[in-house]
Structure formats: C-alpha cells, structure tokens
Amino acid sequence: MRTNGITLQRSERKLLAVCATAASAVLLKPAINTMSAKYGLVGYNSSRKHISISIPSSTEVMSPHIKSVEELRVLGINLSSFSAPTQFFICVAGVFLFYLIYGYLQELIFSVEGFKPFGWYLTLVQFGFYSMFGLVELQLTQDKRRRIPGKTYMIIAFLTVGTMGLSNTSLGYLNYPTQVIFKCCKLIPVMIGGVFIQGKRYNLADVSAALCMSLGLIWFTLADSKVAPNFNVTGVLLISLALCADAAIGNVQEKAMKLHNGSNSEMVLYSYSIGFVYILTGLLCVGGLGTAVAFCSEHPVKTYGYAFFFSLTGYFGISFVLALIKLFGALVAVT
C-alpha cells in the first residue's frame, strides 16, 4: 500500500505539473505574441525556418508606415493599392512619358557644338543630380534605413556606370538611330543574364518572341529613320559593352530588391552616389575633368541647364523602371 501511495503521489505531481505547464502557456501566450510583434519574431509558431529577428537599438525607431513588405511607392504613389494590370499600366506610362523626354534632351545636349568628347562628364553630372534627387525623396519617407548590403550597391554602381557612361559616350561616335538599333536588342542579353544570375529558365516561345521582337524593332527603326545609321567601330564597341552591363544590372537589381525589400529611392541614392565616386575618380586619373568643366562653364545653360532636366526626367523614368523590375521582373521591364 505504501508503494501504491508513493506511485499515486507521483502521478498526482505529474498531473499537477502538466496542468501548470498548460496554464502557464495559456497565460503567457499574449505576452509571447506581444514580444514577437515587438522584436520581429515573425512566424515563430508556424515554422522555425521563417524566423526573422530584428531588434531595434535604443536610438532606432521602427517606422510606423511599414505595414507590409509588399508596399511600393513611386513618386509618392502607392502602387500596392492598385490591381496588377493597373500597376503595369501606370509603370509603363511613366516609362514612356519620361524616357521620351529623356531621349530628346540627351540628343539635344550632344547637338551642342564641341560637347561630344565629354560624355563621361555628362554622366558624372547626371549621377550627381540622381544622388541629390534620391536623397531628397528618401528624406521625405519615414523609413531611412539602408536595407540592401553595401557590397551589392558597389556592384550595381559599377554596372550602372558602365551602362550609362558607355551609352552616353557612344553618342559621340554614333547617331541616335544607330544607338536605338542596338538598344532594341537589349531583351536578348537580359534573358541571358537572367539565366546566369538568377537561374531563370525560358522556354522556346519566350526565346522566339524575344528574337522576333528585337528584329521587328530594328526593321521598324531603319524604315522610320530619315538619317542613315552610322556604324562607327568605336561607337559599336561602346554600345555593345553598355548592353552587356545593362543585361546584368536589371537582374542584379531585381534579385536585391526582392531579397532585401529595398525601396526605389534607396536604390537610386546609394547606387548612383557610389557611381559618382567611381566616375570622379576615373576622370581625375585620366585628366579630362578640367577641360570638361571649362567648356561647360562657357555654355552653362545648354550644358548644366539641359543636364538638370535631362537628369530629372531620367530619375522619374528610373523610378518607374525599378517599380516594374520589383513587381514584374527584369525581362518584363526591358520588354
């Protein structure tokens, strides 16, 4: 009987322990949920693979406007409140509107007599304006933290310098219709970049459509152009290298923005400010900065004045391009 009594007491203790554990779990559940929400323990109860801990410091306050990682704003417009077809229409309309003006101003600047050798300096000025615009837009938002790693921005800045600098410089050797012909082929290297950078796979219909579209655009450009294309060897090499850089940058941006949920203003600010340092260092080493500054000082309205509006429209266009990349992918954006 003593043995049975001891066994009974042990059973009662175990039962009481189980009840106490269950009661404490019920009582502590609201506190655990509160701490999870406060310290970013997302998905704690669902799967340990999806835990994301983000503990703010004493000086860092989480921005109250961040309600969802899917929220996307372009020039103050919250695209998340629209349907997917409406988002696509808004982005495409913005790209067409601002880049039509951008292309006109780009050719207008190079029509200034004596400006053609200063394509890299124009890119330097353009990157400076982009950095200022991105800084202003970022200051207007409540969340100013950098989400994408600095190493990724250094790669994006290098590719951006390559695609824009080489593209601007090629206009010193090629006329605008020739440059457009090469840009019509951008879809093909972007698909190749998607395969190697993001591991994407395209079927035969996608590849055939890309080839047919590129050829159709080239034929349309040649038929509609009143000025014969000028295939200068140096210009062709420059624009080809620009296309290679352009093929990589869209895929790297898409991967970085989706992985780290970076904003458009953050992407523009850091990538173009780092690119500004790249170009400035290069011009100082080569020694072509003083001549360009002296020439632009003699024609400030036709150089810096046009460059400001050229950069402004380009910045607006880039904002919509980045939105397209984040929402629909690099291939759709280039198409």
Return the pLDDT at 221: 65
Nearest to 332 by CA among 321, 218, 157, 195: 321
Q: What mean pLDDT comes out for the span 96-114?
A: 89
What are the backbone angles phi and psi of residue 73, rounded to the nearest 5°?
-115, 140
Q: Cα(279)–Cα(129) distance, rounded to whole angstroms?
A: 14
pLDDT of 152 higher than 60: yes
Residue 125 or residue 239, greater confidence: 125
Q: How many CA atoms lie within 13 A of 226 on its CB side?
A: 0
Q: Cα(322)–Cα(268) distance, rounded to whole angstroms?
A: 9
| 121-146: pLDDT as tens digits | 988 999 999 999 988 888 887 667 78
pLDDT of 16 higher than 60: no
| 154-208: pLDDT as tens digits | 998 898 888 877 887 887 787 777 777 777 777 777 787 777 777 777 778 878 8
pLDDT of 218 higher than 70: yes
Q: What's the burial of 282, exposed, middle or buried (CB within 10 Å: 0-12/13-18/19+)?
A: middle
DSSP 3-state of 52? coil
Return the pLDDT at 96: 93
Contacts for 189 with CB less than 8 Å, ≥ 6 apart: 243, 244, 246, 247
Q: What mean pLDDT comes out for the span 217-242?
A: 74
Return the pLDDT at 69: 41
Q: How confident is the model at residue 13 (pLDDT cuts 50, 70, 90)?
A: low
Residue 53 or residue 69, greater confidence: 69
pLDDT of 31 higher than 70: no
What residue has token string 């170009």? 279
pLDDT of 60 higher than 60: no
Return the pLDDT at 71: 67
Question: How far is C-alpha 40 from the geometric centre of its chain's CA atoms?
Answer: 26
| 191-204: pLDDT as tens digits | 877 777 777 777 78
- Whether the CB-CB separation of 326 and 72 falls below 8 Å is answered with yes
**Can you state the percent helix, strand and coil of the chain, rounding each to 5?**
75, 0, 25
Q: Rg (Cα) of the chain, in Å, rounded? A: 27
